[in-house]
């Protein structure tokens, strides 16, 4: 069962809590650094060159969430506004620590991001992903995301896969 509005905790399920955090907070930055290191191991370079600013994740323009398992930060993701209509959100920095993968945390964080975006009037969630992330691709496809035309920073890159889903 998911409970909402418990102090700073937005979501709580079996020891998993998902909370709003500032994108530039120390805990968020540790997880984001781990996410970028994971991407760098897969693709080289810094992992992701997409321009991202902390203020893009401040409501109502966006939100950043951190997942805590038994009090320890283990995952994150956020959404930021995309385009001019106010209806589209872009998923960024979905990451779960390798030690706790396979427990449904990524799916819970993705659901929390979708709910947050919906609460802020977004009707669609889009994302860019690389072709060397089979776990992410499987998650997105099993969550109802479909391929869409490429957009954003990596538009035109041969390894980019873009997905979207109506909320």
* Confidence band for 3, pLDDT divided at 50, 70 and 90: very low
Question: Is pLDDT of 39 > 90?
Answer: yes
Structure tokens at 70: 């038994």
Classify each residue of 85-124 as buried b or exposed e, where b means 16 or more C-beta atoms within 10 Å of its C-beta. Answer: eeebbbbbbbbbbeebeebebbebbbbbbbbbbeebebeb
Residue 2, pLDDT score: 38
User: Distance (Å, rounded) from C-alpha 159 to C-alpha 167?
Assistant: 26
Question: Is pLDDT of 7 > 50?
Answer: no
Quote the Cα angle for 88-89-94, to 5°: 155
- 60: cis peptide before it, omega within 30°? yes
Report residue 62: phi and psi, to 5°: 175, 180
Average pLDDT over residues 43-54: 91
Global pTM value: 0.91
Which of 4-18, 78-92, 96-110, 113-127 is least confident? 4-18
Structure tokens at 101: 């993968």
Give 51-97 pLDDT, tens digit per residue.
Answer: 999 999 999 999 999 999 999 999 999 999 999 999 999 999 999 99
Q: Which domains does the chain have, with CATH numbers?
A: 9-126 (3.40.630.30)
């Amino acid at each position: 069962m998911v409970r909402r509005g418990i102090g700073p905790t937005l979501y709580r399920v079996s020891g998993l809590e998902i909370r709003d955090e500032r994108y530039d907070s120390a805990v968020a930055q540790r997880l984001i650094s781990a996410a970028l290191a994971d991407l760098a191991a897969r693709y080289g370079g810094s992992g992701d060159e997409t321009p991202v600013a902390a203020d893009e994740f401040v409501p109502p323009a966006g939100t950043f969430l951190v997942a805590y398992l038994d009090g320890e930060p283990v995952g994150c993701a956020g959404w930021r506004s995309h385009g001019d209509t106010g209806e589209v959100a872009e998923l960024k920095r979905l990451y779960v620590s390798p030690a706790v993968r396979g427990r449904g945390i990524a799916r819970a964080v993705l659901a929390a991001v979708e709910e947050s975006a919906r609460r802020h009037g977004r009707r669609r969630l889009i994302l860019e992903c690389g072709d060397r992330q089979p776990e992410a691709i499987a998650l997105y496809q099993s969550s109802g995301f479909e391929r869409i035309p490429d957009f954003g920073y990596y538009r035109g890159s041969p390894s980019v896969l873009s997905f979207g889903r109506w909320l």
